[in-house]
Amino acid sequence: MRHFRHLTPERRSALFHREPAEFTSEADAGTLAIALGATLYSPATRPALADDVLKQAARGVVSMVLCLEDSIADAEVPLAEDNLVRRLRELADRAPADELPLLFVRVRESGQITGLVRRLGPAAGLLSGFVLPKFTGDRSVPFLEALTEAEAACGRRLFAMPVLESPELLHRETRTEALAGIARTLEKYRERVLALRLGVTDFCAAYGLRRTPEMTAYDVQIVASVIADVVNVLGRADGTGFTVTGPVWEYFRQHERMFKPQLRRSPFLSGRAEDVRAALIEHDLDGLLREIELDRANGLLGKTCIHPSHVAPVHALSVVSHEEFCDATDVLRPERGGGGVVRSAYTNKMNEVKPHRAWAERTLLRGEVFGVAREGVSFVELLAAGVK
């Protein structure tokens, strides 16, 4: 697998100072957590599920979740399970695992984990793990125990991606205790946890809220406070934290706007870029771009996506800019291990060696997976290359 592998070698060479590295589903957890990128969700009821996975892989999708939970009705669960098993077996016959995205199944109950692995047989080798809903510490231990059992049964490493979306996390009087309980459970099963996902739609639902396309999750203060506390407790850069992914962006259709588009014209005034800007505005993705930037600023990496049009913006904004790369490499030079302050190579900021070290390490890891853009190449060119 490789990000931007759907581009021609010539196009990648023109865009990247350092091209994205190849990786497999057997890579270390740290690499895979960063590599998730835009994780595309698909209901497990889709009759053409195998075709969908192959089509999205060809378009640059690196991680997918096949959903048995909120995306389908309660009465559809048995049919969805049958369809999932049938389509994964079909995929196993049609394509080798290294040509497919990292595949996860979002379950409702712990018993589905062991049951599905048993029914899949050899096709379980296509799975990288399971998404665990409404994760709440001790009450979610059965899911993690089932994952351990399923891993032993199929002889393959399986990861958990807990979804943090329960009311206990949202309500102020129970949040501290809930986060402490989740932290204890995650630490006990650390080697099985790939990344944490945020169920912002459920958070909004608890108060009858829904953000508009012009508003990000960070504009909804109740939600923003939960994100901040989750990162505070579970996303620390001191070795105790986990990768926390960005919340879902719900919009992908044109409709009447209340506010002006948020994308400035100036970065888009070249070549095909103005067409890209128009397409992004038409599909309500200018708000998505802003939210991705705020995700990064608040310590989140990657994003839950429910539409293929969201993938290219997430991946374009995950590429490390040439300026970021220069700053990170400056901070991490061996001769600067003692600390100090240096002027950046772009002569527009000061890099403090000790305070910026964790940021620099994370940035270079992201650059390994998503690549480093050439000097002068902005996210606009990366978007233009990826938008179809």
Residue 31: CB partners within 8 Å, gap ≥ 6?
23, 365, 368, 369
C-alpha distances (whole Å) from 221 to each of 135, 167, 170, 209, 224 are: 22, 16, 11, 11, 5
Helix-then-strand count for the chain, H and E:
16, 12
Exposed e or buried b for every residue in 199-233, given b needs 16+ CB within 10 A? bbbbbbeeeeeebebbebbbebeebbebbebbbeb
Q: Which two tokens stand for residue 206?
A: 């608890």
- How far is 33 from 42, CA to CA, in rounded Å? 20
- Is 202 assigned to a binding site? yes
Residue 268: CB partners within 8 Å, gap ≥ 6?
274, 276, 277, 380
- Amino acid letter, residue 358: A
Q: What are phi and psi of 325, to 5 degrees?
A: -60, -45
- How far is 54 from 67, CA to CA, in rounded Å? 17
DSSP letter assigned to residue 310: G
Residue 333: CB partners within 8 Å, gap ≥ 6?
none
Please report where in the chains the tokens 């016959």 appear, as a residue: 93
Is residue 186 within 8 A of residue 193, CB to CB? The reply is: yes
Report the SS3 class of residue 246: strand
Is residue 127 within 8 A of residue 105, CB to CB? The reply is: yes
Question: How many other CB atoms are found less than 10 A from the CB of residue 290?
Answer: 17
168: left (phi over 0), alpha (psi -120 to 50) or beta: alpha
Q: Which helix (H) or strand (E) holds 64?
A: strand 63-67
Binding residues, by number, are: 202
Binding residues for Mg(2+), by number, are: 202
